[in-house]
Structure 1
Amino acid sequence: MASIFKHGNKWRAQVRIKGKSASKLFNNKREAQRWARDKEIQFEQAIIHGAPPKKTFGDAMRRYAEEVTPHKRSWKKEQQYLLRMAENDPLAAIPLSALGPRHFADWRDRRLRQVKPASVLREWSMLSAVCKKCVTDWEWLPFNPLQNVQRPKEESPRTRRVEGDELERIVFATGYDPDLPPEKILQRVGAAALFAVETAMRTGEIVNMTWCDVDFEKRTVHIPISKNGSARDVPLSRRAMHILKQLKPLPQCQKRCFGMNNRQLDANYRKARSMAMVEGLRFHDLRREALTRLAQKVDVMTLAKISGHRDLRILQNVYYAPDMGDVASKLD
């Protein structure tokens, strides 16, 4: 139980929980209340919930990275982030017995000065998962302190689409020729960009495609595991089929259809974009371009099946970006 009372010109905070007590003087009442809350958390964790006295949040992140993260899809980035943070971030040095909401609020404010809110929210999800594990399975924390911290506001969704001849310029910069097999990796990046606009597939889905996933008779590609964890089939246009038929005989494309990994695609796409003098068009923006084009050909439920979206609001707000000038012309 915490008590806050006036002591001369200062404020005294006093905390007593199950035989443990602490008190301290402060210049103002707010500082006293803040200290008292943190001290209560410390006592509860150390006494009531049995938090290991010498364990830090860095220890929790390391344990999570080693025991939990490897069982997730796309686990490597999360593991690298958690281990790096466990070594370098000031938050990692905080003892679990003292860890409270204000430490995460300080972390949030510091990270918002360094990166965009979207990045902070991704990191937030990872740290919250660590805290939840500390509460449920390990009994290292009595509650998730992030639940009492205000989340950063999400940024407005991107609306960037291909403008004018941007895609043609990028593809030209890669050296891709629809009449010749794309033997060089840069040429296959051009083929992948066109394939993305035809299929609305994600970057990872494109680079991880194998020939056993492709049904040339049905003109579909099967995606066994997508971002949301479910499988789906994507229809292939004639242009998409032509690109795959170009790639199939190439020895460098025997394992994966496009013969490259995510990092190679990203680096070479950036190179081609720079050569084409196109600003700000990300490879993932081609998915938005594709879905906006497909929306003119199929109904919204079919579009969601193609894209793999379970939440139609995300499909509408993030990926569907029609030109209102085109919409206006259809009203007459």
Structure 2
Amino acid sequence: MPSYRKRGGVWRAEIARKGIRKSGTFNTKAEAVAWATAEEAKIMAGKVTADHTVAELLRRYVTMVSPKKANRNTKFEYNRVEALIRDYPELAAKKLSDVRAADWAAWRDDRLNGNGERKAVAGSTVSRDLNLFSAAFMTAKREWGWIHESPISGVSRPRDPQPRSRRPEQDEIDRICLALGYTTDEPPETATARCGAAYLFAIETAMRAGEIVGLRLQDIHKEKRYAHLPRTKNGSARSVPLSSRALAIIEQLEPLGHDPLFGLTSSQLDALFRKGRDRAGVEGLTFHDSRREGLTRLAKIFNVMELAKISGHRDLRILQNVYYAPTAEDLAERLA
């Protein structure tokens, strides 16, 4: 039952029902009673939810839901949530009952355009974050009963940029390997040299960087010429055929006794590759571009369904539009 107290010249009404607390001040007791009666009825009808904040919702999501996802990308989702709470404290502190689509549209525009404190980011980054936050709000609506509508549902996403088509030239590959100190004649004993080995291995297998650094000797079946990946980005296991060059790289690494095989973390691989690329004077190339190069080379041998089996793509459109990038010269060679 609501309580009413007169303080000075105003009346204060307080409600505490179903774990929800609300209060308000009014000029007369009649106004206070009318407000409290209406608000209590909303609570009892399930039309008002608990006074959680955006930060509470997102943190609960990455704690309870993210670890259960097939791709187990918990750390990435946790970092994105904490970045929003750190960089946009006013939005993070808003009560769920107060947050609107306009708040998220303003966040989107600020991320895209940047300001004096923060650099602008790509539309794909904003879309990825919006998808994460939207999933959290939909979970709060459907499973937790915290909200009745998601304020992100009506927020438009930035247009997707044109997919990358950058592929390394053979001369660039050679220069990067030279800068990293990797040769086919000697075991890659240093971390930098193993980065070069990982780069060539990526081109030969079209494996992702995270899959390569997590590869263990027990996952490799040299006699049958394949590597088994028990956990991948999309949550499904898959096996990848190994070329003679890929097997030769594995044999170089075996005597070094690292576990995982390449003896590198994802962050080490990324940092070392960037340094080697820059020393080699190569511009506009990322380690992940090796996956596009690898799949384009494998497409000369395998059909699209076989290629998807190797790469782990479930959506053939992504495989075709983003990763398979033959040049006109490549296609002309196949005609010949």
Bin of the TM-score, shorter chain as denominator length: 0.7 to 0.9
Is 1:196–1:202's contact at 8 Å kept on the other side of the alignment? yes
1:49 to 47, 50, 63: 47
Deviations 1:288-312 (A, max 9, x none): 0011111111211111111111111
TM-score (norm 2): 0.81
**Distance of 2:225 and 2:79 partners within structure 1:** 38
Is 1:65–1:83's contact at 8 Å kept on the other side of the alignment? no
Name the SS for the 1:234 alignment partner. strand
Is 1:222–1:232's contact at 8 Å kept on the other side of the alignment? yes
Is 1:70–1:76's contact at 8 Å kept on the other side of the alignment? no
Structure 1 unmatched runs, 5+: 1-42
**Distance of 1:151 and 1:192 partners within structure 2:** 35
Is 1:201–1:307's contact at 8 Å kept on the other side of the alignment? yes
Aligned residue number for residue 94 of structure 1 = 94
Deviations 1:181-211 (A, max 9, x none): 1110000000001100100001111000011
After TM superposition, give the deviation of residue 64 of structure 1 in Å. 1.8
Name the SS for the 1:151 alignment partner. coil
Check if 1:241 corresponds to 2:240.
no
1:276 to 269, 273, 280: 280
Identity level (%): 48
**Distance of 1:315 and 1:45 partners within structure 2:** 49
Is 1:50–1:139's contact at 8 Å kept on the other side of the alignment? no
Is 1:62–1:86's contact at 8 Å kept on the other side of the alignment? no
CA gap 1:263/1:44 in 2 versus in 1, 3 angstroms: farther
Question: What is the alpha-carbon root mean square deviation over aligned residues?
Answer: 2.1
**Distance of 2:42 and 2:231 partners within structure 1:** 43
**Distance of 2:237 and 2:179 partners within structure 1:** 34
Is 1:170–1:276's contact at 8 Å kept on the other side of the alignment? yes
**Distance of 2:173 and 2:316 partners within structure 1:** 27
Name the SS for the 2:184 alignment partner. coil
- The amino acid that maps onto 1:82 is V
Deviations 1:90-132 (A, max 9, x none): 3212211111211111111111112100100111111011101
1:177 to 183, 198, 205: 183
CA gap 1:47/1:108 in 2 versus in 1, 3 angstroms: farther
**Distance of 1:63 and 1:47 partners within structure 2:** 25
1:68 to 48, 65, 75: 65
- The amino acid that maps onto 2:104 is F
Aligned residue number for residue 142 of structure 2 = 136
**Distance of 1:46 and 1:165 partners within structure 2:** 71
Aligned residue number for residue 146 of structure 1 = 152
Check if 1:195 corresponds to 2:237.
no
Name the SS for the 1:222 alignment partner. strand
Aligned residue number for residue 289 of structure 2 = 285
**Distance of 2:57 and 2:65 partners within structure 1:** 11
Check if 1:84 corresponds to 2:88.
no
1:316 to 310, 315, 320: 320
Name the SS for the 2:152 alignment partner. helix
- The amino acid that maps onto 2:92 is A
Aligned residue number for residue 230 of structure 2 = 224
**Distance of 1:184 and 1:44 partners within structure 2:** 66
- The amino acid that maps onto 1:84 is A
After TM superposition, give the deviation of residue 164 of structure 1 in Å. 4.5
CA gap 1:246/1:46 in 2 versus in 1, 3 angstroms: farther
- The amino acid that maps onto 1:201 is M
After TM superposition, give the deviation of residue 235 of structure 1 in Å. 0.6
Name the SS for the 2:233 alignment partner. coil
Aligned residue number for residue 110 of structure 1 = 110
**Distance of 1:266 and 1:51 partners within structure 2:** 45
TM-score (norm 1): 0.82
After TM superposition, give the deviation of residue 52 of structure 1 in Å. 1.7
**Distance of 1:286 and 1:44 partners within structure 2:** 57
**Distance of 1:199 and 1:47 partners within structure 2:** 58
Q: How many residues align?
A: 289
Is 1:180–1:246's contact at 8 Å kept on the other side of the alignment? yes
- The amino acid that maps onto 1:109 is D
After TM superposition, give the deviation of residue 163 of structure 1 in Å. 2.3
